[in-house]
Amino acid sequence: MSDAYSKILRRRFFFITTLFFLPFLLLGISLFVGSARLSFLEVYRIIVSRVFPFFGTNVDKASEYIVLNLRLPRVLGAVVVGAVLAAAGAVSQAILRNPLASPFTIGLSSAASFGASLAIIMGAGILSYQGGYTYTVTNELLVIVNAFILCMLCSLIISVIAEVKGSNPTLMVLLGVAIGYFFSAGTSIMQYLGEAEALKSVVMWLLGDLGRVSWRYLLWMTPAVMVIPILVAIGWRLNAFNMGDEVAASLGVNVKRLRTVCIILVCFMTAATISFVGVIGFICLIAPHIARILVGNDNRFLVLASALVGANLLLASDTIARTILAPMILPVGAVTSCLGGPFFIYLLLKSRRMHWT
């Protein structure tokens, strides 16, 4: 292997390792802050006593509940959602060959929002009526299922059209934008028709909130996390897209199939996270670009690095969202964009070179 390339690889491993261990530090801080005052020691004693029950000395039941059932799922949720959305963003940029692409540019946020509004305002999700038979589902579950199904509907529309018209990346972006507008219009109409109370719920949902994450939701999000290693494994195939579909095909990549599979995976990852926590934007666009600055454009590293950057960013944003105006908790989506925007601009200005052309 060339010396120059080994140097590049070492640099990448360094950044990825750092990004991997950073959340553990952030996790510590994040678990410690909150309206209930708990000391560092207390928090760790609670966690240790849970992991190693034989150490379980007298921990306060209330504190234990706060740490294990309120804070821990929330911070783990931040890590998972950040990682999944960021990896999905990196992959959409690769397959669409577009630095502006993200799951949200292909209409997924609008689709999820529409699904959620439908459930909240009409109280009638797609799943609630089947064969004239009403299923009783809890309201929250209905919102989740609706948002999820609408996201996957998006992927269905895009992949069917790609199958018929050919998988041109620009076509896909335009399609996504059109689908996005369509669903946004649907959401607007829903909001126009909705009652004030329901409207507030929709707006709250749209803001995105990690506080909704419970252990059960974390479990349901795990399939989305498992997609990340698959994407890392096909990183080299994603690299082939970079030089155009013709070169990719000449290198033995089935361009159309891989692009469609990736679109479906991106939709799934996005659906499986934002359905639970609401629309948390920007992370899927910004995290891959920060990762590009750190590890370059080789997708084998980029997808993983993006996921780690996303996890760190969302965890940090959520910690700030919970503390800056405590005891009030700001919506994490807004905080991410608020802090991420200027930070991103700073990186763009400071970066030695452009990582796209």
Partner 1 sequence: MDLSLEISNLSFNYGSKDVLRDVSLKVDGGEVLALIGPNGSGKSTLLKCVVGVLKPLRGKIAVGGVDLSKLSERERARLVGYLPQYLPMVFPVTVFECILLGRLPSFWTKPGKRDFEAVQRVLQSLNLTGFADKYIDEMSGGERQRVHIARVLAQEARVMLFDEPTANLDLKYQLDVMELIRKASREKEAATIIALHEVNLALKYADRVAVLNGGEMVCEGRPEEVITREMITRVYEVKADVVEYDGRPRVLL
Q: What residues line the site for partner 1 (CB under 8 A)?
A: 1-2, 4-5, 7-8, 93-94, 97-99, 233-237, 239-240, 242-247, 249-254, 292, 296-298, 300, 353-357
- In the complex, least distance from residue 272 CB atom to partner 1, rounded to whole angstroms: 24
Kindly tell me which of 5 and 192 has the beta carbon lying closer to partner 1.
5
Closest contact distance (angstroms) between CB of 332 and partner 1 is 29
CB of residue 355 vs partner 1: minimum separation in angstroms?
7
Nearer to partner 1, 195 or 246 (CB): 246
Residue 225 to residue 307: CA distance in whole angstroms: 10
CB closer to partner 1 out of 79 and 294: 294
Q: Which is nearer to partner 1, 154 or 234 (CB)?
A: 234
Cβ 13 to partner 1 shortest distance, Å:
13
Pick 139 or 242: Cβ nearer partner 1: 242
Q: Which is nearer to partner 1, 98 or 128 (CB)?
A: 98
CB of residue 1 to partner 1, shortest distance in Å: 5
Closest CA to 263 of 117, 88, 83: 88
**Dist CA 142 CA 269 (whole Å):** 19
Residue 54 CB partners (closer than 8 Å, separation 6+)? none
Contact at 8 Å (CB) between 161 and 179?
Answer: no
DSSP alpha helix (H) spans, the chain: 3-32, 40-51, 61-65, 72-96, 108-117, 139-165, 169-193, 196-207, 215-233, 235-241, 245-250, 255-277, 283-295, 299-323, 332-350
State the nearest-atom distance from the C-beta of 243 to partner 1, in Å.
5
The DSSP secondary-structure symbol of 130 reads: E
Shortest separation between residue 104's beta carbon and partner 1, angstroms: 19
Q: Which residue's CB is nearer to partner 1, number 34 or number 176?
A: 176
Q: What's the CA gap between 64 and 92, in Å, rounded?
A: 40
The span from the CA of 278 to the CA of 74, in Å, is 14
In this complex, which beta carbon is closest to partner 1, that of residue 71 or of residue 292?
292
Structure tokens at 288: 């891959």
In the complex, minimum distance from the CB of residue 296 to partner 1, in angstroms, rounded to a whole number: 7
**CA atoms of 331 and 329, how far apart (whole Å):** 7
Tokens of 102: 């993200």
d(CA 285, CA 249): 27
CB of 347 to partner 1, least distance (A): 16
CB of 226 to partner 1, least distance (A): 16
- From residue 132, alpha-carbon distances to 38, 115, 127, 144, 261 in Å are 52, 20, 11, 22, 34
Separation between Cα atoms, residue 292 and residue 120, nearest integer Å: 39
Nearer to partner 1, 56 or 99 (CB): 99
Cβ-contact 231, 307 below 8 angstroms: no
Residue number with CB closer to partner 1 (119 or 162)? 162
Q: What's the burial of 92, exposed, middle or buried (CB within 10 Å: 0-12/13-18/19+)?
A: buried
CB 73 within 8 A of CB 306: no
